[in-house]
Chain A
Amino acid sequence: MSQKSDELKIYWKKIKYAFPILNNTLPTECTDQEYEEITQIIVGLGIQVKIRDLVLVHVEKYLRVYVAPSFWSKFTKVEEDIKAFQLFKSAVNDLYDSVNQFSDMLRRLKHLNNECCDNRPIFGEKDVILGFKQLLRATLLSQLPTTYYIIINHFYELSFNVFDNMKSSDMDEDICLGCWNEYSECNCAYIVKVFYDTNKKLVELQLLERLAGQVLTNFIQKKIEVHIRKICTGAFDVSHMSHLEDWLDTTVMTWLTRIYSAGSSQAPPGIKYAITKFKQKLSFFLYQTYTKLRIDQLFNIIIEYPDSQPAIDDIKTCLESTNLCPLLCKKLQTALETRLLHPGVNTPDILTAYISTIRALRHLDPSGIILETVTKPVRNYLRNREDTVRSVVSSLTEEGTGSELAEELAKFAAENDEDNEKEEAWDDWYPDPVDADPRRAQGPKGSDIISMLVNVYGSKELFVNEYRTLLADRLLAQGDINTEKEIRYLELLKLRFGESQLHFCEVMLKDISDSKRINTLISQDKNFAEMNAKFSSNAMILSAQFWPPFKDESLELPEEIKQHLAEYTKAYEGLKGNRTLSWKPHLGNVNIEIEIGEKKLDLTVSPFNATLIMHFQNKPEWLLEELHDIMKVPMTVLRRKITYWQSLGLITEKSSDYYVLVDGSEANKANVPSNQVQEMICEDEETESVMASAHDQREGELQVFWSYIVGMLTNLDSLPLERIHQMLKMFASQAPGTECSLNELRQFLDTKVRTHQLVLQGGMYKLPKL
């Protein structure tokens, strides 16, 4: 019994001799031959599995208790680059050495493992060596200190700086830009050597990625950001995608390969895989960074569209491989809101930007989803601006190249022509292929830019109505308008909005050209010619049914003018049997010459201004009330309009509501140079429309509903918009003014809220409490 026990003691001693790790140490003098014998003993006793497992337990413990703590003990908070550099270097070296100490033992353990024949995985791996490496990494990482990255950062930053400055060493400097030493003591070569050496060891230990990956990534990402920012300033008319991909492929990846392959430009196969994975990450980051930058610039890119199409194309490509679409929508919406949607921006500028946005985003995203999302606030805002329709109309009919909308209108007409031709070639028709471009399949021409704009305000009718008002104003303001040109535009608009809506405008234009003919004929009338010897009188003769309603304004003209116009009427009646004229005395324009002191002024003014100054010629002092009696103009209007002559220095308000002509000598002083006067007149004439605006007209029509609404709210206290709309449909549908869309009703009610006739609370309309 004791003999057996002694024998076992000897065997155990021999086993510990072969595997000193069982005594928590590594070095051994055991030769291969001795080991062979010991293996035979182990196998003879049938305890190979037990011994192997025991050794593994001790290996794990040794790594946990000695190797890992000693490695991490060097990862302290160090401030200086070079100190940290040395620490990291020695940590890796020590780790590498102590791992090497395992190599003999591992070889023997592998041998023993083969004798076990149980195919048990060693720390998750088939192979002892691989299992050991796995264990090493796991043990190290399980003890990762929170500040581990400090010396690693220092190590790589110092090295990268050396690399960065290796090529471009500027010898004019006294100090090496790589290692910040004086040239005589430049450390760069040493740093490079240690850097490669350390990396090589980390690669072998399969720790490079885990320890340095993040630092490397951060560093390269920083480089990518700087590079992108450098090349993508300003110009949007160049695509940068292929350049950036090239740059990543060559400059960045070559550099990375050299690091991973310890200086060689050819990576060994295992490392190649790691590099490929790295590249995927970096490529994603590159797209992300580039797209984010472009998204920040997107407002400006849009404004420059279509010149900026390459930039839009780039974003389009990038959106496919990144998830930045929501960011794009959010940022662009904010940009549009802050740059456009406030009172300081002119409506035409908002429209121009909106049109560019439509075009650019259509190109970026043919599905239209981004456009729809992003421009919603723009549409809401435009809807509430009073001059939106007017701005669209005037830019539609604007002369020359500047106007986007005019071009769009012409384009529409051209496309229409094309379509007609296509229809004729119907026998050449084939069905669209299955993968037809959805943009074309999207179909109706209604989705073009003009409709998008017109739809902002709800109805085509409102829009066309506004066009009519605008045309009326222009025709009346400048009698010698180029009617041919206007007719050409009208034809374009007809294609777009249909014949019937614009028929009125055709008659208006015809009225103007007819008037010219009639004026010529009447000036040849004998009786009238006598009258005209004093001054010539012309008329714009309008077909009232076809013009928009005029603002009601009264004005009693001077007697001699009235006679003159009456004579014109007589001549007209002679020319056109059974027809007569009704004058709109406040409309038109008058060319007068004023002599005052030594000055002569040649002015074109409104009939009001002409009448007023003519009265002052007859009598130099007037009470406001007297003027009101003789001119039949409300006193508030008089007070406002007389300022025109005050601003010219011809009339002064001596005391309250008492106006006096400035006499010759004083007038000379006060007078404004006549060229400047002309400018002021232009302003005076153009600021105000003589037409009731479309808004006013429609509001007038909606007034019909007002009594119904008041009735409802008196009975039911408060109602939401939709309910009011429903009830109006039921009760008031026979009323003139007929249909009223939900949107129109909202606008109408909102004006009532603004004028305090209604209260809006939590989405409910109420009558205000009296």
Chain B
Amino acid sequence: MKVTVKSWTGVATWRWIANDDNCGICRMPFDSCCPDCKLPGDDCPLVWGACSHCFHIHCIVKWLHSQPQQQCPMCRQDWKFNNK
């Protein structure tokens, strides 16, 4: 008997490679989206700071706008976007 695979359609779930499961600002899972968004992933991406903390981009931008100082809400270091 000879078995030939012609095509294989698998099922996978995607996830962000991050050091935490949830966004420290909105508390939602990273793999979900921020409260302002409807669609996860491309439409509500994560960003990393120089401090290596990461958030939904919409969450950190909102946070920075509301703060006098541009600091990471987790470690209070100055926030710099890290183009990892």
Query: Which chain A residues have a beta carbon within 8 Å of chain B's beta carbons?
Result: 476, 479, 503, 506-507, 510, 514, 534-547, 561, 564-565, 568-569, 572, 576-585, 587-596, 602, 607, 610, 613-614, 616-617, 620, 650, 661, 664, 667
Contacts and interface: CB of A to CB of B under 8 A. Distances in A.
B7 A546 contact: no
A614 B6 CA distance: 13
Band of interface residues on B? 20 to 34
B41 interface: yes
B6 A535 contact: yes
B75 interface: no
Given A510-B39, A590-B5, A614-B3, A543 B10 contact: no
A578 B8 contact: no
Contacts of B15: 544, 579-582
Contact of B11 (A572, A583, A602): A583
Given A540-B12, A578-B84, A595 B40 contact: no
B24 interface: no
B41 A543 contact: yes
A534 B7 CA distance: 9
B14 A578 contact: no
A579 B1 contact: no
Given A507-B39, A543-B41, A661-B1, A607 B16 contact: no
B5 A539 contact: no
B73 to A, nearest CB: 20
B10 A540 contact: yes
A340 B65 CA distance: 64
Contact of B1 (A576, A580, A617): A617
A579 B11 contact: no
B6 to A, nearest CB: 4
A538 B10 CA distance: 6
B3 A580 contact: no
Pairs A-B, 6 closest by C-beta atoms:
A587-B11, A544-B13, A581-B12, A545-B32, A595-B2, A591-B6
B14 to A, nearest CB: 5
B7 A536 contact: yes
A180 B8 CA distance: 89
A507 B43 CA distance: 11
Contacts of B3: 592-594, 610, 613-614, 617
B7 A616 contact: no
Contacts of B8: 535-538, 561, 564-565, 588, 590-591, 607, 610
Contacts of A602: 6
B12 A539 contact: yes
A580 B12 CA distance: 10
Contacts of B6: 535-536, 591-593, 602
